[in-house]
Structures are given as structure tokens and as C-alpha cells.
Amino acid sequence: MTATFTRTPLHGILLNNITWQTYESLRSNLAEQAGIRLTYDRGKLEIMTPLAPHEKYKKLLGSFVEALTEETDRDICSLGSLTCKKEDLARGLEPDRCYYIQNEQVVWDKDQIDLNQDPPPDLVIEIDITSSSIDRLELYASLGVPEVLRYDGTRLIVYQLQENE
């Protein structure tokens, strides 16, 4: 199988036919490169670099969540853009910010979070100003993330995971 690529809207590249091992290798090699985001969905790999407004809104919404949980006297574990991935699903991505709230005590003292054993973050923040070519909400749902705050530059939408009946 040969990898192909396509340009995505604004500041990104979409690669096709990428193996999980290649994703993992790129993820570990690019981990120290500030601002590079990888989203992997069953052979598709999107590489994006966020713009300045993206970073501004990420910080603003993160401050809102942290102030709200402080005012309501809730303990949280903020893990920034923790990589959320599951090899058995062949899916992985980095939220703009993520929080453990209900499961804060489960992960608080862990050095590594493994979604094969640990719960996913209770809340993630997604700033979607540049539009991903991969449906990130579908990825979060497949990973079992219960709530996503998504800001698209004009609207803040709260998504809650619904159980399939």
C-alpha cells in the first residue's frame, strides 16, 4: 500500500494509507514540536498546526472550565492536549485541552494514561476554526469521551455522548 497526501483546509496535510506504527513513530518523534497536532483515523493521518486565534480561544475556554470547577468546589485533573488513542480502534488524537472531573481520583497520580485500562477524559475542548478533514467528534465518541466543548469561531456548542439503544 502506498501513502498519498492531500492538502486540508488551512494549515494541514492529510495522509492516507498510514499504518498505526507510522502514526506512533511520528507521534513520538514530533512530541516535542510545539503546535503540531496529529489526528489518526483508521489509516488517515492529519497533521495540523494551530493558528494564533486557536491558541487564544483554547486558553480562554480552559480558564472558563477551571474557574467554573473551582467555583463549584470540584477537583479536576487538567491534562492539556493529552494524546487519546486506542490501537484496537486504530484511532488517536490530541484535544486542545482535556479534563478529568468525575474520574479525577482515578488518574490523578498516574504518570501515563492508557485508554485501554483508564477512562477517557470526562471533558475535552476543541477549537475548530480551521476545520479538520477527519470527524474529530466521531473519534471522541468512539473513545468514549462523555462531553466535548467545541468552539468554531462564532459558536460554542456542548456535545454530550449518548448511549446507543
Give 101-151 pLDDT, tens digit per residue. Answer: 999 999 999 999 999 999 999 999 999 887 677 899 999 999 999 999 999
Residue that has been written with the C-alpha cell 492529510 in this structure: 14
Q: Identity (one letter) of the amino acid at 6?
A: T
Backbone angles phi, psi at 48, to 5 degrees: -125, 155
* pLDDT for position 4: 47
Does pTM top 0.75 for this prediction? Answer: yes
Q: What is the pLDDT of residue 36?
A: 84
Residues forming a β-bridge with 92: 40, 85
- Residue 114, classified by CB atoms within 10 Å of its CB into exposed (0-12), middle (13-18) or buried (19+), is exposed
What CATH architecture does domain 4-160 belong to? Answer: Alpha-Beta Complex (3.90)
For the chain, domain boundaries: 4-160
> Could you give the C-alpha distances from 69 to 83, 110, 150, in angstroms and in order?
23, 21, 18
Three-state secondary-structure class, residue 154:
coil
Which residue type sits at 119?
P
Q: What is the DSSP letter of 9?
A: T
Write out pLDDT tens, residues 51-83: 788 889 999 999 999 999 999 999 999 998 889
37-47 pLDDT tens trace: 899 999 999 99
CA-based torsion, 148, 149, 152, 157: positive or negative: positive
The single-letter code of the amino acid at 49 is: T
